[in-house]
């Protein structure tokens, strides 16, 4: 059985970049792409990339999670609340532990537009976006009856995640392999969560469906009740 390069490398003790190149088939592309963007960075390009990167930032994800928690508590959708917390913050925490285990340095530590701290593998912004928008997809897709809207929603979420990943590579914060690994690990973690929390899945979908369904007006229900209770008049 062939072990993916990022899983294999995660099991190794922290070593030099040469060791990573031995187990990373994308090592050449990593350095070429990172070097090209580093040379062509400009202030305007950096400002645009930071906007693209924002949907994967910890602050943005924290705000979305806060609103989701309030919504689920208000609707008493406890299974959905547990699923969201385990999938998103739980997966991001595991990624931070992976960074400490792999200990890979960032492509560039200093420069005109570079001032990064921490480690590179795997991309925190990218895995955060993958987990957040992937989990929201799992909540929303069962509620959509139109296949067209389902495909459009999936495409939008995928493009948003890829845009975040691209911005991290172009900014010099991560290598290409860091971003790819983050997407793969994020999807795998969502699959594991879906499997482990499978008994709650139906209850999650039902809770969200009830939450978004518009309540029927009381007056309409009263009129319908009176109409159904009225005896039928005999046909003359």
Q: What is the pLDDT of residues 45-60, one digit of tens each?
A: 888 999 999 999 999 9
Lowest model confidence (mean pLDDT) among 19-23, 89-93, 152-156, 187-191: 19-23
Residue 26: what pLDDT?
74
- Of the pLDDT bands very low, low, confident and very high (cuts 50, 70, 90), residue 15 is very low
CA–CA dist 145, 149 (Å, integer): 8
Supply the pLDDT for residue 8.
40
pLDDT tens string 63-74: 999 999 998 899
Judge whether residue 116 has pLDDT over 60: yes
List the Cα angle 94/98/104 in 5-degree steps: 150
d(CA 44, CA 50): 10
226 — pLDDT class (breaks 50, 70, 90): low
Q: What is the mean pLDDT of residues 29-43?
A: 84
Q: Is the pLDDT of residue 111 over 80?
A: no
Per-residue confidence (pLDDT) for residue 11, from 0 to 100: 39
Q: Is the pLDDT of residue 218 over 80?
A: no
Q: Is the pLDDT reported for residue 122 higher than 70?
A: yes
Contact of 83 with 193, CB cutoff 8 Å: yes
DSSP letter, residue 11 = T
Considering the chain, what percentage of its residues have pLDDT values greater than 70?
Answer: 71
Quickly count helices (H) and strands (E) in the chain: 11, 0
This prediction's pTM:
0.73
Calpha distance 178→89 (Å, rounded): 19
Identify the helix (H) or strand (E) that includes residue 225.
helix 218-229
CA-wise closest residue to 105 among 191, 187, 19, 206: 19
What's the N-to-C CA distance of the chain in angstroms? 83
* Residue keyed to tokens 């979305």: 64
Statement: residue 2 has pLDDT above 50: no
> Can you give the pLDDT at residue 102?
87
């Amino acid at each position: 059985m062939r072990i993916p390069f990022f899983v294999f490398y995660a099991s190794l003790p922290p070593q030099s970049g040469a060791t990573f190149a031995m187990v990373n088939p994308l090592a050449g592309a990593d350095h070429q792409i990172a070097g090209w963007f580093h040379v062509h960075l400009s202030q305007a390009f950096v400002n645009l990339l930071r906007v693209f990167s924002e949907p994967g930032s910890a602050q943005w994800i924290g705000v979305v999670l806060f609103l989701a928690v309030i919504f689920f508590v208000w609707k008493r959708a406890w299974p959905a609340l547990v699923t969201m917390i385990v999938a998103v913050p739980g997966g991001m925490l595991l990624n931070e532990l992976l960074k400490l285990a792999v200990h890979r340095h960032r492509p560039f530590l200093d420069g005109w537009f570079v001032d990064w701290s921490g480690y590179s593998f795997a991309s925190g912004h990218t895995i955060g976006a993958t987990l957040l928008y992937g989990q929201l997809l799992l909540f929303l897709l069962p509620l959509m009856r139109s296949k067209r809207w389902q495909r459009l929603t999936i495409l939008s979420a995928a493009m948003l995640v890829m845009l975040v990943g691209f911005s991290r590579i172009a900014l010099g914060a991560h290598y290409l392999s860091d971003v790819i690994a983050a997407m793969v690990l994020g999807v795998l973690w969502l699959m594991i969560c879906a499997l482990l929390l499978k008994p709650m899945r139906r209850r999650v979908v039902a809770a969200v469906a009830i939450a978004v369904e518009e309540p029927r007006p009381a007056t309409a229900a009263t009129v319908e009740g009176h109409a159904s209770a009225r005896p039928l008049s005999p046909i003359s």
